[in-house]
Amino acid sequence: MKIRSRMLAVATALVCVTGFAQAGNLHVFTSDAEGFNTHSIWYDDGKEVLVVDTQFTPIQARALIAEIKRQTKSPITRVVVTHPNPDKFNALSVFHQEGAESIASARTAAAIPGVDAYKRYFWVNMAKAFTDETYPKVEPIRTTFEGETRIRLKSGETVTLIELPRPGISSTQTVVRIDQSGDLVVGDLVHTRNHAWLEGGIVNGKPQPDLAGWKADLQELPKLGNGKVYGGRGEFAPVRDAVAQEIAYLEQADRIVDRYIQQLGSRAVELKDPQKQGGHYAAIQAEFVKAFPDYSFPDLVGYSVYGLVQQKLSQQSL
Which CATH number among 3.40.50.12780, 3.60.15.10, 2.60.120.10, 3.30.930.10 corresponds to the domain 20-316? 3.60.15.10
The answer to whether the beta carbons of residues 115 and 86 sit under 8 Å apart is yes
- Residues whose CB is less than 8 angstroms from the CB of residue 252 and which lie 6 or more positions away in sequence, other chains included: 291, 292
Q: Give me the pLDDT at residue 212, please.
A: 97
Query: Which residues partner with 43 through β-bridges?
Result: 26, 50
**What type of residue is 88?**
K
pLDDT at residue 6, as a whole number: 37
Band (pLDDT 50/70/90 cuts) for residue 317 is low
- Confidence label for 116 from pLDDT (cuts 50, 70 and 90): very high
Q: Strands 101-105, 237-238: parallel, antiparallel or unpaired by DSSP? A: unpaired
Task: List the one residue out of 27, 36, 147 whose CA is nearest residue 86.
Answer: 36
Query: What's the chain's length in residues?
Result: 318
pLDDT category of residue 33 using cuts at 50, 70 and 90:
confident
Could you list the beta-strand ranges (E) of 157-209.
158-163, 174-178, 183-192, 201-203, 206-208
Question: 136 and 91 in contact (C-beta within 8 Å)?
Answer: yes
Which pLDDT belongs to residue 315?
A: 85
> What average pLDDT does the structure give for the chain?
92
Please name which of 210, 232, 229 lies closest in space to residue 300, comparing C-alpha atoms. Answer: 232
pLDDT digits (tens, 9 = 90+) for 173-200: 999 999 999 999 999 999 999 999 999 9
| Mutual angle of helices 277-291 and 239-264, in 10-degree steps | 140
> What's this model's pTM, rounded to 2 decimal places?
0.91
- Would you call 175 exposed, middle or buried from its count of C-beta atoms within 10 A (0-12, 13-18, 19+)? buried
Q: Rounded CA gap, 235 and 254, in Å?
A: 22
Give the amino acid at 158.
T
Q: Which burial class, exposed, middle or buried, applies to 236 when counting CB atoms under 10 A from its CB (0-12, 13-18, 19+)?
A: buried
Is the model's pLDDT at 1 over the cut of 50? no
What is the enclosing helix (H) or strand (E) of 105? strand 101-105
Neighbouring residues of 272: CB distance < 8 A, sequence distance ≥ 6: 310, 313, 318
What per-residue confidence (pLDDT) applies to 197? 96
